[in-house]
Structure 1
C-alpha cells in the first residue's frame, strides 16, 4: 500500500471545518443590540469572519452605523462572553468532513487546527462538538503572540513542530489561509463552500475542493507532484 504523502493536514476552523456563521452572527447581533442597533443577517456577517472577533465586531458596527474605539472596547467583552456561552448552538461540521477525517486517520496523518479565532474559543468549540481527541493540536490567532496570526507563517510552523515535523498541507477558505501556507512553504487547498469574499480561484490555492469527499484524492494528487 502506497504511503499517504502528508504527515500533517492542518485546517482553518470558521468556514472550513465548521459552519459557525449562525453562532457568530448571533454574537455580533447581541453586541449590536446592546447599543440599540438592529440585527444583521448571516449573509452580511459572513464577509466579516476570518480575521478574529474584534475585526468582526468592528465591521458589524461599521455596517450598522458607526464604529469608534470606545464602542469597540465596551462591546467586545460582551460579544466574547455571549459567544463563549452559546458557541455551538448552530455550528456543525461541513458535509463529508467526518468521513474525510476518518480517512486521514486511517492513512496515519495527524489533523490539526490553525485558526484566527482566539485559542480558548477554538478549544471550547471543539470540545462542545465532542471532537477534542480528533485533533493533534489547536492553534489560535493569539497563540503565537500579537501580530502573528495568519497570514503569518508562524502558526503553521508551530503546527508542524507540535505534530513532530513532517510534510504538511493546509486547508482553508480565505486569503489568510492560503497566504499563511504559502509563507510557510507548504501547499494549500481552498474550500469553495467556505465563507468566501470573492471567487475561490482568486485565493491562490494549489487546489480547490467543493466537498470533503474530494479532500483525500486531491491531497494524494498534490503529494504526487513532489
Structure 2
C-alpha cells in the first residue's frame, strides 16, 4: 500500500498559540515576563527547546542549563492547555478523507513527543482518522532520521519506499531526502515563504490540491 504521512505542527494544525503560551509560562517563572509574541509562530513550530533558546537569547540570558531545567516545565504547561488555541488547517481533514477514499494509508510522523501528539489529536477529535502516529520518542531516533517516517508508513499498512511526507520545514525536507521518498511542503504556515528554497518535489498552497499532488508523485494503490 502507498501511504501519505503528515507532520503535525505547522502542517496538519496550527499549534503555535498554545506552544508560545507554554514558553511564556516558563519565561514568567524566570521573572522575564512574556518574551515571545505571535510573530514568533515559526519559532514555536520548531519545538520547545528552540522557543526557550530564542527567548533567552533575546533577553541576553542564553544558558543550556536553563533550557534543560525549564524544558520539562514547558512540556507540563503545554500538556495542561494543549488545545486552547490550536486549530486544524482549513481543508486538512477533507484532504485526509479524500486520500483514504482513494486507497492510501494515512499516518502522522512528528517530532512532538508521542504522548502529547496522541492527546492533541484526540482532543481535536481526529486521532481515529490516522492509521499511525509516530512521535519524537516513539523510536530511539527522530526526524530527520528516516526511520520514524518508515515506521509511520509501516504502521499505516504501507511499505516505506512507497510513501510521501507532507511537512512544513527543513527537517521534513531532510527526512524525505534521507528516506529517498518525495516531500510536499505546505506554504500556508508561518514559514511558508521559505519552503520553495528547500526544493521539495511539490509545494502545497491549499489542502484541496493534495490528492492530485499525491497521485502525481506516488501513483495510486
Distance of 1:165 and 1:12 partners within structure 2? 17
Question: What is the RMSD computed on CA atoms of the aligned residues?
Answer: 1.7
Count of aligned pairs between the two proteins = 216
1:46 paired to 2:67? no
Pairing partner for 2:168 from 148, 151, 173:
173
- Do the aligned partners of residues 48 and 89 (structure 1) sit closer, same or farther apart at CA in structure 2, a change above 3 Å counting? closer
1:151 paired to 2:156? no
Normalization by structure 2: what TM-score? 0.91
Contact residue 2 and residue 163 of structure 2 kept, 8 A: yes
Distance of 2:62 and 2:12 partners within structure 1? 30
Query: Deviation at 1:197?
Result: 7.4
Distance of 1:141 and 1:15 partners within structure 2? 16
Query: Deviation at 1:62?
Result: 1.8
Gaps of 5+ in 1: 1-5
2:95 equivalent in structure 1: 100
Query: Deviation at 1:185?
Result: 1.2
Gaps of 5+ in 2: none
SS at match of 1:56: helix
Distance of 1:96 and 1:197 partners within structure 2? 17
Distance of 2:138 and 2:107 partners within structure 1? 14
1:213 paired to 2:191? no
Contact residue 167 and residue 173 of structure 2 kept, 8 A: yes
Distance of 2:163 and 2:43 partners within structure 1? 28
1:131 paired to 2:126? yes
Distance of 1:120 and 1:153 partners within structure 2? 20
